[in-house]
Every structure is written in C-alpha cells, then in structure tokens.
Structure 1
C-alpha cells in the first residue's frame, strides 16, 4: 500500500489448487535466466483517507446498522452496491455515485452537494433533510423515496423518476425537472420557485401549499387528480424572501399561471376558480398600492358577477335593484296611473280575469310593475313618473338596467367561450 492510499494486490502464478508452476522465461536474460516478477492483479483506487477505510467498509456492509458520521468528499462509489446501507449524516460532497445501487438506503441528513448521481438507483430510500444542492441526478431512480425537508436547490433532476416520491416541504428552488416523472408525488409545502418543469409528468401529483412563484411550466402533464389546492401559500405570507415582489404579487402571478395551465387541459371549473382567486388578489394588491379606483372596480365586479364567472350573481343583483327601486317609488316618488281606458279593445281568452286588489297591495304591485318595466327599458307608457324626483329615480334605474343586462350578456358569453 502506498502512502497516498493506493493498494496493490499481487500473487504468484499458480494452479487453482495452489501448486506452483514454472515462471515464464523473459527474453534477453540469457540461458537459464528467469525472473519471478510479482504481477499486479488489481488496483483499488480510493480518494478518502486511509484511516477511514476499515470503518467505512464495516458500516456499508452491515445493513441497517447505525453508522457514525463519516466524511468522504470527492470519493468514487460509481457502480457500487450500497443497498440497505446506512449513510446517516455522512459527508459525500462532490462524490461520484454514478450507477450506484442505493435502494432502501438511509441517507437522512447526509450531504451530497455537487455529487454526481447520474443513473443512480435510490428507490425507496430515506432522504429526510438530506442535502443534494447542485447535485447531478439526471436519470436517477428516486421512485418512492421518503424525503421530507430534503434540500434539492439547483439540483439537476432531468429524466429522473420521482414517481410516488414524498417530498413534503422539500427545497427545489431553481431545480431542473425537465422530462422528470413526478406522477403521484407528494409535494405539499415544497418550494419550487424558479424551478424548470418542461414536459414534466404531474398527473395525480399533490402540490397543495407549494411555492410556485416564477416556476416555469412548459408542456407539463396534469389531470383532474393533480392537486394545487384551493388557494396558494402566498396569501398567508407577510413578506417574500429572495424576491423584490410582494406576497400579493406572487399570488396574482401564481393564480394566473394555474388558470392558464388548467385552461389548456380543459379543466374549466378549476380554471374559473383560479381566475376568481387571481382577481381577488389583484383587488388586494390595488388596495395595498393605494389604487382605490381599481380596487372599487374589482370590488363591484366581484359582488356583481364573481369577476365575470356567475350569471346568477348578475340576475340576483338585478332583482335586488328592482326591489329597492320599487320601495323608493312607493315611499318617495309618485307614479301617474291612467284611469280612462275608453276607446281600447282587449283581446285574448281572459282565462284569468283581473282581480280587484286592496288599495295597499295594488300600490305595491304598481310600484313593482313600474320598476320592472323601467329596469328592462320596456316602457309601455301606461305608467309615468309624476314628480321630478320620480323621474330622476326612473332615469337611474333605466341606466342600471341597461348596464346589468349588457353585463349579463357578457358573462354568459364568457362562460360559453371556456
């Protein structure tokens, strides 16, 4: 063994039974000359310090045995069989784990910063609070891993298999998830800000309370079982770390992206929901910025039609307007009712003859009737406002009626276009 840790393994030539055989003659040695060179049969290269070697081997090949902390930075474990190994709290920064078998291994709180884990198999491993910052995990098998609070910031997870992975509260900021399989993965509370999701499979994935501000979505796959939650986490934050934007601005951006994403996959009900949430966030943002005119517009729009999503809300508001003006006509205004009906002919079968109503009921019915025809701008001409104040009330109601009728047409058209 050399001082730098290189180990040479040598043996004499012999038969399988151990009997010696004549050594081959070497040209140029003369008659009867022979040499007995020791042939190097193998060389094991290791970059970790020699004093750790025996302890490292003992820990690796004792499955599920509690290991002590070890430091093996820039070590070479490519192709190694480390299945069931306990590497808790180990330091493997910059190590080479290409094609290594780490199935069912325990990597809790281990450090793999800048490590190369391309095509490594970590299936069903325990990676709680493990640090994979800037690690290369391209093509790695991470199916079914249990990795809450794992740190994968700026990690390369392109083509990685993360199906059914448990990544609650994991840090995936700036991570590359191009062509990654995240089907059925649990990412509740995870931070995916500024991550790149290109052709990523998110079917049946749970992303409730995940941070998605500035996350890049392109050609991702979602379905009706993909859960983003009813609201985004930014609504509950007072400030936003690492960004110049406010939490409300982040909420607006996130809802707009979720709306577009669900529209693309014809998930219209969810798209409408995120449209409403986006408008509500914009309303809060206008209030925070002191833009009270826009705030008032959003507030009225929300009440009148749920930001263009509810025609029944428009019908309800119209009914309320008609009822209010009926009371105003009855109490504050006067309506001229014609009494001379001579010279007119009535047609029809008359199955329901006119009823003689008590005076108070007749006045209420007349006010409601006048309010309806004024709101709808039908204007039969049989009733007229008798005072200037009544005329003013009728003018305002006519304007509101025309506005709400046009608004109803707009909302119905919007729902048709979804």
Structure 2
C-alpha cells in the first residue's frame, strides 16, 4: 500500500454479505489515515461531506458536530465509531451501521429508519425523539441509552413484519427469535427509562412472538398453555382478564350445578333440593330461583368459604364443586400476582 493512501482494511469474513474493503483514499493532515479513518478529534465537517463513495467501514468520528447532515443516508458505516458527537437531526435512513459504536453521543431527533443496526452499541447516548422505525436491531446494545415516549421504534419490529413474506421454516424461526430478542431489549430499555407503557407493549409483543413460534414449532402442549396464559391474564399483565375469567367460572358452575344433581339447602331442619331435569319444561320463576341459589353456592365455593348450609347433591355436582374450588384457589392467587405486577410496573 502506498504511503500516501489510507490502507484501512475491513475483512470480508465478519460480514460476507457486504464483502471486504480496503480504503484507497489519500491520507489526511499529516496522519497515516484518511479523514474518515484518522482517530483524531474535531474533524472538519465540510471535508467529510465532500467525500465520495458508499463504503466507509471503520470510520472514526470523535467530538464532531454533524447535526442536520444527510450524507450518512444509504451508505455503509460498518464498525464505525461515534464518540462524543453531535448527531442531532442527522439522517441515517437506510444506512448500514452494523457493529458501530455510539458513545456519549447526542442523537436526539436523528433518523435511523430502515437502517441496519445489528450488533451496534449505544453507550450513554441520547436517543430521545429519534426515529428507529423498521431498523434492524437484533443484538443491538443500549447501555444506559436515553429514550423517551417520543423515541419511535414502530408498532412492530422489522423481523416480525418480514414474517408475512417468508415461507421457509428455518428463516421464519430465525426471524421469530430475532423479533423476541429485540422486543426483550426494547422492554429493558423502556424499563430503565421509566416508560411503563412502552415496557408493557414490548412485553406483550415478545410474548406474542413466543406464542406464535410455539404453534409453528408444533410444541402444541406449550402453545395451549401459552394461549391459556394469554386469554386469562394477558400474559400476566391484566387483572381484568383474571376477574373476567373468575366470573365466567362462577357463572358456568352455577349453570352446571342444577343440571348435574343439584344442590340442597337445609333451613329450619327442612332440606330443600334445587335441581333442574328439563330446563325446557321448568317454570321460569323456579328456574330463576334455582339459578340464584346455585349462583350463591358457586360464589362461596369459588371463594373457598365452605359449603355452609348448602351442599352439592350427586356425584357429578360434587366433581364440579371440587374443580371450582381448585380453580378458585388458583385464580385468586393469580389475581394477587397480576395485581402486584401491575402496581410494580406502574411505579
């Protein structure tokens, strides 16, 4: 390599889809590298803006003010380093930034839409109001990065959006895993920045990806369990789902008791049985009375308060009562768990 040329080399082995590259630009300002690869502070922005070409792998930006610049867009900056830079309103649309490091960099209002940020690192960098819609974020590291509710990652990460156009089972599995990993990382970042609403949203998306992957992987037992977790608790995040499920169990059992042997109430030494053999021929008034008594019995059974002066009659009615008591234990404990989690997330 001639001494007047930069000679920076990026090996193809790390990213075979882009291939290797050797920088042939002239050395700059007495350094042994070009203006892009010289590891010095305060590079002139006009010299950077005048550069030609699309490959700037390994570029070094240290203490440079590049706010509002647009020439990053649609170029390759693999393994670039941004240290203590001002990147406000900078446009990185469609930029390949894999493996790049942003340290103590102000990227407020910057645009990273459609950028590839896989394995990149944002260390103590400010991403408030930035847009990262449709960016590839698998294995990106947000180390003490600042975000806010206006930091946009889109409604769905790009890996989930790509599933609709992918048929190969292995490719779909990889995208499911990439989507799950990305949602977990976004959930962690949101939690670190006190964004409870965003944290819950990313938590739900990660669980949705896991549920869909279980079905596609034909892990049916786990998938059914995940469906139950989803419908009864919204993946452990909604006490209203637990309450609705509990009410459904109470009402269903109240309907079943009169049809499976009935219940018997003892009052003043007299035993009265409430049973319905044929609902179609039973008077409406009696049906209402039976349902009221059955609903009362179902409620105290679900709440595990004991049978009291009402007892189930018949083998099947006792089975229903036993199952309901068990479900009552489980759902009430689950309600306490979900309520506690909701309070913690709210804080």
Equivalent runs, 1:46-61 vs 2, <5 Å: none
Structure 2 runs not aligned, ≥5 long: 6-22, 271-283
Aligned to 1:284: 212
Which of 58, 67, 70 is matched with 1:134 structurally? 58
Aligned to 1:407: 334
Deviation digits for residues 288-335 of structure 1, max 9, x if unmatched? 333333222222111111111111110011111112112212333311
Q: Is the CA contact 1:144–1:165 (under 8 Å) kept in the aligned structure 2?
A: yes
Aligned to 1:89: none
* 1:155 and 2:93 aligned: no
* 1:74 and 2:10 aligned: no
Equivalent runs, 1:288-327 vs 2, <5 Å: 288-327=216-255
CA gap of 1:199–1:128, structure 2 versus 1, over 3 A, is farther
Aligned to 1:62: none
**C-alpha distance in 2, partners of 1:415/1:126?**
53
Aligned to 2:273: none
3-state secondary structure, aligned to 2:148: coil
Aligned to 2:92: 167
Deviates more, 1:137-146 or 1:197-206: 137-146
**C-alpha distance in 1, partners of 2:339/2:51?**
51
3-state secondary structure, aligned to 1:384: strand
**C-alpha distance in 1, partners of 2:177/2:334?**
28
Q: Is the CA contact 1:280–1:298 (under 8 Å) kept in the aligned structure 2?
A: no
Which of 280, 284, 288 is matched with 1:361 structurally? 288
How far residue 286 of structure 1 moved from its aligned partner, in angstroms, is 2.7
How far residue 78 of structure 1 moved from its aligned partner, in angstroms, is 4.4
Structure 1 runs not aligned, ≥5 long: 1-45, 48-71, 80-93, 99-113, 343-356
How far residue 139 of structure 1 moved from its aligned partner, in angstroms, is 2.8
More strand by share: 2
Which of 293, 316, 320 is matched with 1:393 structurally? 320
Tell me the number of residue pairs that the alignment of Structure 1 and Structure 2 aligns: 306
* 1:189 and 2:140 aligned: no
3-state secondary structure, aligned to 2:182: helix
Deviates more, 1:126-135 or 1:271-280: 126-135
Deviates more, 1:196-205 or 1:326-335: 326-335
TM-score when scaled to structure 2? Answer: 0.78
Deviates more, 1:305-314 or 1:284-293: 284-293
**C-alpha distance in 2, partners of 1:320/1:128?**
67
**C-alpha distance in 2, partners of 1:148/1:339?**
83
**C-alpha distance in 1, partners of 2:207/2:245?**
19
Write out the 4+ residue segments of structure 1 that deviate beyond 4 Å after TM superposition.
Answer: 76-79, 114-118, 122-129
* 1:204 and 2:104 aligned: no
**C-alpha distance in 1, partners of 2:289/2:207?**
44
**C-alpha distance in 1, partners of 2:267/2:52?**
87
More helix by share: 2
Which of 252, 256, 260 is matched with 2:180 structurally? 252
Deviates more, 1:327-336 or 1:401-410: 327-336
**C-alpha distance in 2, partners of 1:299/1:127?**
55
How far residue 415 of structure 1 moved from its aligned partner, in angstroms, is 1.8
Q: Is the CA contact 2:74–2:94 (under 8 Å) kept in the aligned structure 1?
A: yes
Q: Is the CA contact 1:185–1:204 (under 8 Å) kept in the aligned structure 2?
A: yes
How far residue 231 of structure 1 moved from its aligned partner, in angstroms, is 2.3
Aligned to 2:257: 329
**C-alpha distance in 2, partners of 1:231/1:377?**
43
Aligned to 2:310: 383
CA gap of 1:282–1:128, structure 2 versus 1, over 3 A, is farther
How far residue 395 of structure 1 moved from its aligned partner, in angstroms, is 0.7
Deviates more, 1:370-379 or 1:278-287: 278-287
**Greater radius of gyration (CA):** 1
Aligned to 2:197: 269
Which of 72, 80, 102 is matched with 1:177 structurally? 102
Q: Is the CA contact 1:335–1:385 (under 8 Å) kept in the aligned structure 2?
A: yes
3-state secondary structure, aligned to 1:338: strand
Q: Is the CA contact 2:123–2:142 (under 8 Å) kept in the aligned structure 1?
A: yes
How far residue 122 of structure 1 moved from its aligned partner, in angstroms, is 4.8
